[in-house]
Amino acid sequence: MAASLRGWKCFIMIPCNSRAGKTVQQGSGYLSFVPANVPPTPPIAFDAEMIALLSQADLALGQLSGIAAILPNPDLFVALYVKHEAVLSSQIEGIQCTFDEVLEQEANDSGIRTKAIGEVVNYVHAMNYGMGRLSTLPLSLRLLREVHGCLLAGVRGDNKDPGG
């Protein structure tokens, strides 16, 4: 699991201080990320190295755009990506489940799931639910509570006032 956490220092709230911002201890004991002011000080240097990196990023975005234009069903790709992200996020939480297991469960859905697969399935459902609700509801505490309720429905933590 340690290999899957490389590069996630600020995301799992290990204290950090960088040009992007810093983590700050809250009264409750939790850390929160406070972004740095924009524009940054000192300003971003557009030297030869930065311009080369921007050019590489632009090329990669162009390639992605080209691939998206010829994909017969981009929604299928997005759905698989959401499932993959659900597995990776669940692994950060200590849930032992693979992408293949989730796809196999979906293909042979007998209604019986392991707890780990149930949590991943809830993640996918919560993500899809939240994205759908954004068409009728602004990003708000209410929406976050609804998505949180979907995330914890019938799995560990569902007794902790999900969505409340």
Structure confidence by residue, pLDDT tens digits, 76-90:
888 888 899 989 888
Structure confidence by residue, pLDDT tens digits, 107-148:
887 666 778 888 888 888 999 999 999 999 898 989 999 998
Number of domain units in the chain: 2
81, 25: one domain: no
Encoding tokens for residue 122?
Answer: 């809830």
At 5 the pLDDT is 46
Please report whether residue 65 resides in a domain.
no
Closest CA to 141 of 152, 153, 130: 130
Closest CA to 143 of 153, 129, 156: 129
Q: Please state, in angstroms and rounded to a whole number, the distance separating the CA atoms of residues 146 and 164.
A: 9
Q: Please state, in angstroms and rounded to a whole number, the distance separating the CA atoms of residues 58 and 46.
A: 15
- Is the pLDDT reported for residue 161 higher than 80? no
Residue 127's domain spans which residues? 74-152
Please report whether residue 92 resides in a domain.
yes
Please say whether the beta carbons of 76 and 92 come within 8 A.
no
79, 140: one domain: yes
80, 20: one domain: no
Please report whether residue 162 resides in a domain.
no
The DSSP code sequence of 36-90 is: PPSS-SSPPP--HHHHHHHHHHHHHHHHHHHHHHH-S-HHHHHHHHHHHHHHHHH
Please report whether residue 47 resides in a domain.
no
Structure confidence by residue, pLDDT tens digits, 52-69:
999 999 999 999 999 888
Please report whether residue 14 resides in a domain.
yes
pTM beyond 0.75: the answer is no
Indicate the pLDDT class of residue 40, thresholds 50, 70 and 90. Answer: confident
